[in-house]
Chain A
Amino acid sequence: MSGKESTMTASKRALSAVVGVLLMVAVVGVVGFTLHSASADPHKKLYATKTAETIVVDGKTYPKATITMGVYADTAQAKEMGYNTINKKDYVQYGPSSHIVLPAHTYVTMTIHGYDGGEKLNAPFFGKVVGTVGGTMNVDGVDVTEIPADQVQHTFTIHSLPSSNRDPLFVNIPLQHVDEGDNGFLPTKDPGTNYKGHTMTFSFITGGAGEYVWNCEYPCGDGTYAKFGAAMSAYGYMSGKVSVA
């Protein structure tokens, strides 16, 4: 802010303008890049394993695929169970990845191991099994169509945005909670412990390619309001993506 009259030549001024503008564009770009990498999907996607078998449902033949996930009370438990979680916080979480990839037009059989306790669903509707073949799932060998709202540990709910060019896919699976009395409810450092938990198995049929999301509808975060804070409000713990490709 000196009192001197500017002596800048026109070309110098133009150069300064170009450099200045580019510099600021670069700053915005760096901010964008930082945010982008901070919010990127988990580096590892979880792919369904295709099998050679096929199955006929309602007169149509589908190839088969299987996929297995687990849900853990916290990071320590996930690690104990052999999954290297990439999540940073010690939250309840699904593993081994929050981004699952399923083949299109396929009969997908999914297995979820649940090792967590539970209290009560906010919305009892999500105690029902929805969207699976036959409307049932198999809990430790028994077929069920729903789990009472106060016996759910988590849910695995796939849904999507309605749009004209994507096949609808809605699957809701409530997971039977593990009683305090059950062996293996919480992880211990004792290597001899047998983690029992519960195993939920179910099948559904994917449509055409498209992006979907899944999340848990069971209030397992913290906070005073409906327990949907913390883990539930952080992407990649109890929520994630489903890519049908």
Chain B
Amino acid sequence: MSDDHGLVEMEPTPGEKLAAIFKQREVRVATAWGVLVTAIFFVIGGWIYPSWMPTAMSTDMKSIERLIVIFTWISAPVCGIVLGFSIYTFLHRHKGDTPPADGPGFRTNSLVVGLWVIVSSALCLVAVVYGLIEMNSASAATAEHKKNAMVVEVTGSQWAWSFNYPEQGVQSHELMLPINRPVEFKIISVDVNHSFWPVQLGVKVDANRLQTTVIDTTPNKLGDIDVKCAELCGLYHAYMETSGKVMSADDFNTWVTAHQGGHTA
């Protein structure tokens, strides 16, 4: 569609056109609203949102927190534009039982459309590239971990997790991990699909029926872990949770020795 009826009729450079748009009072007022909204989302994304999330106990979880903050910041201006302009029009609504007079008849504005596409593509590109970089560094870390990793075989069964430490010859219903040692989880399900989710470690993968999946991470903070199932797995899905601990290497060795008898008390 042509832009004969464009918002701005002059044909100077796009830069001048843009400047002309911003000279309009209504654009500036709407933009002010937008800035306010952007600021609010900045605060939510940067501080309020992360405060809801549990303590990060691995670099994976740390990077997820960072990523969520950055994504919120990227989207804050988008929220600002959309909400700023809609708040402005809402405040200038027409009241009454009869329809308002016809508004201006412009049908498009190629400058605005073009700018919109470019900016949204750019923001999208930032998100994509950032995500790919994070993924890449995660898989580089995986390669690093492989050398020195402690293997934990995770078995999901309806409706409990069990853990086998082949290196130590220990089995447990709790996930005990030494700090700062890479750990490689080999996950399998003996019945339906589950999803292995040690919440504070920021990793997750499905436990598929009789098919092994692998994830790795390095716990770097002492504390309790919640291990949950994130895939509906039947009657007691809600109760398919267990606890875990990240402990010092010494504590871990003590725990291993105490449980090598074949049972956990």
Contact = CB atoms under 8 A, between A and B. Distances in A.
Are A and B in direct contact (Cβ within 8 Å)?
Answer: yes
Interface of A: 122-123, 125-126, 128-135, 145-146, 157, 159-162, 168, 170, 172, 213, 215, 217, 219, 225-226, 228, 232-235, 239
Contacts of B261: 135, 145
B239 A161 contact: yes
Interface in B158-189: 158-160, 162, 164, 171, 173-174
A233 B234 CA distance: 7
B162 A123 contact: yes
B152 to A, nearest CB: 13
A213 B155 contact: no
Interface residues of B, number: 30
Given A131-B265, A135-B265, A239-B236, A122 B191 contact: yes
A228 B262 contact: no
A222 B264 CA distance: 31
B81 interface: no
A226 B242 contact: no
B241 interface: yes
Nearest to A237: B235
A170 B158 contact: no
Contacts of A161: 238-239, 241
Contacts of A170: 173-174, 242
A228 B158 contact: yes
B160 to A, nearest CB: 6
B190 interface: yes
Contact of A128 (B158, B234, B238, B263): B263
Contacts of A228: 158, 191-192, 234
Contacts, number: 91
A234 B235 CA distance: 7
The 3 A-B pairs of least Cβ separation, nearest first, read: A226-B191, A125-B162, A123-B157
Interface of B: 155, 157-160, 162, 164, 171, 173-174, 190-192, 209, 224, 226-227, 234-236, 238-239, 241-243, 261-265
A202 to B, nearest CB: 12
Nearest to A212: B239
Contacts of A239: 235-236
Residue of A125, A157, A226 with most partner-chain B CB within 10 A: A125
A98 to B, nearest CB: 12
Given A125-B173, A168-B243, A217-B160, A162 B155 contact: no
Contacts of A160: 239, 241
A198 B192 CA distance: 31
Nearest to B158: A228
B157 A145 contact: no
A3 B171 CA distance: 77
Contacts of B239: 159-161, 213, 215
A129 B263 CA distance: 7
A234 to B, nearest CB: 7
A225 B191 contact: yes
B155 A123 contact: yes
